[in-house]
Structure 1
Amino acid sequence: MKAKSLADLGALKKLLQQQAEAAALREAQRKAAEERARRERELFSSAVGRVTTLKDKGLASVPRPRPEPTPAQRLLDEEAVLREAISDEFDVESLLETDEALSFRRPGVGPEVVKRLRRGDWVIQRQIDLHGLRRDEAREQLAEFLRESVRQGLRCVRVIHGKGNGSPGREPVLKGKVRTWLVQKDEVIAFAQARAADGGHGALVVLLRPWDAGAA
């Protein structure tokens, strides 16, 4: 019975020793971590120098509305496509006439731009519906629409002129007028007949010049 008690006492003594060693290890690790933090603070202070705390002026923090996100990468991609499509050679007729599919491009703008417009590669950012308006109303609204679109920094818009099915003799009068007006507008770089999904024969997709804030 006595031997058993001595064995239990020895086991207890060993357990207490292990616990003491574990506690000592934890304490040593804590001190080491504190020392590292102290050295890092001293290093930061020596690198930054003396820091003066700013006085609290009691100003209220006014939440400000966050600006709308700008699709910067998409605009850069479209700008790159336009630069790549610029050509030193151009057909003079491209300034004065449009083709059977009602497309147009300024001198120096390559045909690839028109092809991409037809494919719908540019995102349509705004549109105006002119069909049903009188000629003078349509002309004025189109001019204002183009000016405002350029002012807003838009690059690709859609102009809906209708297919002319309701015109006398079913002749697309407004359709031809819109083409003529667009050609005369400096804001317009190129345009092409819209895809079927975007209006087909009843609409044009128009590419605009980048807005020059200095010229405003």
Structure 2
Amino acid sequence: MVRRKLTDEEINLWHRVVERAERLHVNGNPTRPLPKPKPNRAPAGQDAPQAPRPNPAAPPSPSLTVKPQPVQMDRKAFGRMKRGKLVPEGRIDLHGMTLDRAHPVLTRFILSSQASGRRLVLVITGKGKESKDQGPIPVPRGILRRNVPLWLSMPPLAQAVLQVESAHISHGGEGAFYVYLRKVR
């Protein structure tokens, strides 16, 4: 793309705009540019991954509201599950259900799956709808996506569930969960 030169009229117009513009002040102090952040350097020979800093003004994403659990299952199977290599033995789709309808359906599905000897099931919640009202307070989306992990961690499902993790993109990504069930005793 070739840049064109500004005409004398455009330059004069710009200077008039700059003369009339007022500097923004925050709390009575003129704003100053923030200093550049210093890069975090890892010790020699090590690459330290930098975790993204959460934006305090943004609502927490649903995946961040669920606390990461320590691995309760076989680490090798856990790794295969996270990579989408383990095929779920059962699945339930809760799309479009209300909380009152989804909770008993999920409870019945998990308990019957455990009773039938299944170990890995897929619970599809969907990502949630975008809110039509974009008011001053952001409304988090995905009511089922936020509540399903909580339901799985409370009785009677807590006794049947060994591990809950977000699904691999091939099985639904952020809109689904892997639920690894305990063996029937």
Which TM-score applies when normalising by structure 1? 0.46
Task: Give distance in 1, aligned partners of 2:101 and 2:67.
Answer: 24
Bigger relative contact order, structure 1 or 2, given CA contacts below 8 A and separation 6+? 2
Q: Is the 8 A contact 1:105 1:111 kept in 2?
A: no
Which stretch has the larger CA shift, 102-111 or 201-210?
Answer: 102-111
Could you say which residue in structure 2 is the equivalent of 1:161? 125
Task: Give distance in 2, aligned partners of 1:113 and 1:101.
Answer: 25
Task: Give distance in 1, aligned partners of 2:75 and 2:159.
Answer: 18
Which whole-Å deviations, capped at 9, do the CAs of 1:168-197 have from their partners, x for residues lacking one?
Answer: 656111101001011222111002111111
Residue 204 (str. 1) matches residue 177 (str. 2):
yes
Q: CA deviation at 1:209?
A: 0.5
Q: Is the 8 A contact 1:158 1:204 kept in 2?
A: yes
Residue 143 (str. 1) matches residue 107 (str. 2):
yes
Change (3 A) 1:167 1:203: farther
Change (3 A) 1:136 1:188: same
Residue 173 (str. 1) matches residue 173 (str. 2):
no
Task: Give distance in 1, aligned partners of 2:143 and 2:75.
Answer: 27
> Structure 1 counterpart of 2:89, which letter?
Q
Which stretch has the larger CA shift, 112-121 or 149-158?
Answer: 112-121
Q: Is the 8 A contact 2:152 2:161 kept in 1?
A: yes
User: Which structure: greater helix fraction?
Assistant: 1
Determine what percentage of the aligned residue pairs are the same residue: 31
SS at match of 1:177: helix
Count of paired positions: 115
Q: CA deviation at 1:163?
A: 0.2
Which whole-Å deviations, capped at 9, do the CAs of 1:191-213 have from their partners, x for residues lacking one?
Answer: 2111111101110011000112x
> Structure 1 counterpart of 2:95, which letter?
H
Stretches of structure 1 that go unaligned for 5 or more consecutive residues are 1-97
Q: Is the 8 A contact 2:165 2:179 kept in 1?
A: yes
Q: CA deviation at 1:99?
A: 6.5
Q: CA deviation at 1:114?
A: 4.2
Which whole-Å deviations, capped at 9, do the CAs of 1:118-176 have from their partners, x for residues lacking one?
Answer: 11243211000112111011110000000100111000000001101256656111101
Change (3 A) 1:124 1:187: same
Stretches of structure 2 that go unaligned for 5 or more consecutive residues are 1-61, 133-138
Task: Give distance in 2, aligned partners of 1:140 and 1:194.
Answer: 22
Could you say which residue in structure 2 is the equivalent of 1:23? none
SS at match of 1:153: coil
SS at match of 2:150: helix
Q: Bigger radius of gyration, 1 or 2?
A: 1
Q: CA deviation at 1:111?
A: 6.1
Which whole-Å deviations, capped at 9, do the CAs of 1:33-88 have from their partners, x for residues lacking one?
Answer: xxxxxxxxxxxxxxxxxxxxxxxxxxxxxxxxxxxxxxxxxxxxxxxxxxxxxxxx
> Structure 1 counterpart of 2:146, which letter?
G
Task: Give distance in 1, aligned partners of 2:63 and 2:97.
Answer: 25
Write out aligned runs for 1:1-216 (5 A).
Answer: 100=64, 104-105=68-69, 109=73, 114-165=78-129, 169=139, 171-184=141-154, 185-212=158-185
Which TM-score applies when normalising by structure 2? 0.53
